Structure formats: structure tokens, C-alpha cells
Amino acid sequence: MTMQDRAYAAAIFIILGICCIGAYVAVSGFTNANPNGLQIGLNSATQTPTAGVTIEIPTETAAPPTNTPLPPTKTPIGFQPTLPPEATRGPTLDFIPTIATPEFTATPEATATPVGCGAAFCPRLGPPDPRAPTGNPCPDNYIWGFVFDTSGKGIGGMKITLRELNGAADKVTSKAPPDPEGRFDFPAASGTWSVQLVDRQEDPLSPPMQIQARVPWGGSGNCPTRVDFIQQ
């Protein structure tokens, strides 16, 4: 080996020594500044400190969500649902029909409705009426009522015969103003009476109707002691 070759070898050896010393110094400085060594993590999980380089590989893969939301349904602009026809729609709770109860006001016109009996006048029971005798709408100590023409107007001056089944008999005449026009009344203490409208010759103008005296009114319906004669 020549002297020149020896010089080159010595220079290379010196350079390698310097590199090794520099590397040692660099590694020593790094480890002194980072005593736990260099750690490289692939996730945010807690890692056990080890010397040197540590690589953690996750062992579990997160499962995809099981409930996949449906895409929202959009209603076209201007869309309006078609309602079924009113005739086919069932009743709803917000609609409750109210049926008004008519108040009864007894007048001759209100009670004068033809009933048909094959005679000029037809008898029928009538409702309570404040125009009854003594002001009681339905007295039981009178046999009373009205005589009406075809328009429902009371007729005064008409004759009514009353015959009790045990033989007693009497007759009365329907009233004119200032009394309630067309009203007749007969005080009857007891008994069953046959009541009939007759003309001046006492020929029948209506079929007879039997009325029981002293029968109290039950609070609804017609008076049991009232009979009206309706012209046909």
C-alpha cells in the first residue's frame, strides 16, 4: 500500500468516526428530550409506552349504522289533497246537530186541525191552555174546550149538550168576546159525560165524545177533561 492510499484510508476512517459521533450525539439528545421514545399511533386509543417506535393496528372495525334514515318526502309546490265528497264523509265530533224544541203557545188557530169523522164538526182532546176556566191551564173540575171553524177561529154561540151516564143532562153555549171566543165550560164534580155539538134544534153536528170528570192532568200530553170541536 502506498503512502497516498494510507492517507485516503485514514481520512475515510476519520470521517466515519465523526459521523458516528454526530449520530450518537443526535440520538442521545432526542432520547433525553423524549424519554418515552418515539411513538406513532394510528388511532386515538391509549398506548403503552415502549422504547422505540410503536405502531398500533385497530383490531375492531366499527359496524355501519343499522337504521338507515329514509330520504325526506317532498310535497310538490301547489299540491293540495283531494277531499272526499261531502255526501260520503262520515259525521265528525265538531258537528253536532241541534234540534230546537218548539215552544207551545195554545191558540184557537194552533189547535184547529181537521181530524175527519164524517160529520160537520169532529171532537178531539186538546192540550193545556191558559185560557181555560179559572186560569188553570188544565182544570179537572171542568169539562171544557173550544169550537173552531175551518180557519181555526173560535166560534161563539154554539150549543153543546152534556149527558151523564147516570141520567143527568145539561147544555152550555160557546162564549164570545170579551171571553175567549169559542170556549165552553161546564163544572162537573164527578161522573162520565157524553159531550156533543148540536144545532139550535139540537140535531147532532158532531159525534158524541165521552169525558171523565175529575181526572187530573199527568203533566204531559192533552188535558183529560178538554174536548175541542173542529169544523170540517
SS3 105: coil
Distance CA 215, CA 208 (A): 19
- Please list the residues that pair with 17 across neighbouring strands: none
DSSP state at residue 154: B
Name the CA dihedral angle for 74, 78, 84, 89, rounded to a multiple of 10 degrees: 80
Output the nine-digit C-alpha cell for 149.
Answer: 171553524
**Residues 206, 120: contact at Cβ < 8 Å?**
yes
Per the prediction, the chain carries an average pLDDT of 74
**Residues 158, 198: contact at Cβ < 8 Å?**
no
**Residues 111, 127: contact at Cβ < 8 Å?**
yes
Lowest mean pLDDT among 84-98, 111-125, 198-212: 84-98
Distance CA 39, CA 181 (A): 123
Distance CA 209, CA 228 (A): 10
Higher-pLDDT residue of 164 and 9 is 164
SS3 11: helix
The residue-averaged pLDDT of 174-202 equals: 96
Distance CA 193, CA 143 (A): 9
DSSP 114-129: ----SSSEEEEE----
DSSP 24-86: HHHHHHHHHH-TT-----SSSS-----SS------S--PPPPS--PPPPPPPPTT--PPPPPG
Q: What is the pLDDT of residues 214-230, one digit of tens each?
A: 999 999 999 999 999 99
Lowest mean pLDDT among 26-35, 42-51, 62-71, 203-212: 42-51
Q: What is the pLDDT of residues 73-104, one digit of tens each?
A: 555 555 555 555 555 445 444 444 444 433 43
How many angstroms separate the Cα of 220 from the Cα of each of 8, 104, 126, 174, 217?
Answer: 143, 12, 12, 26, 7
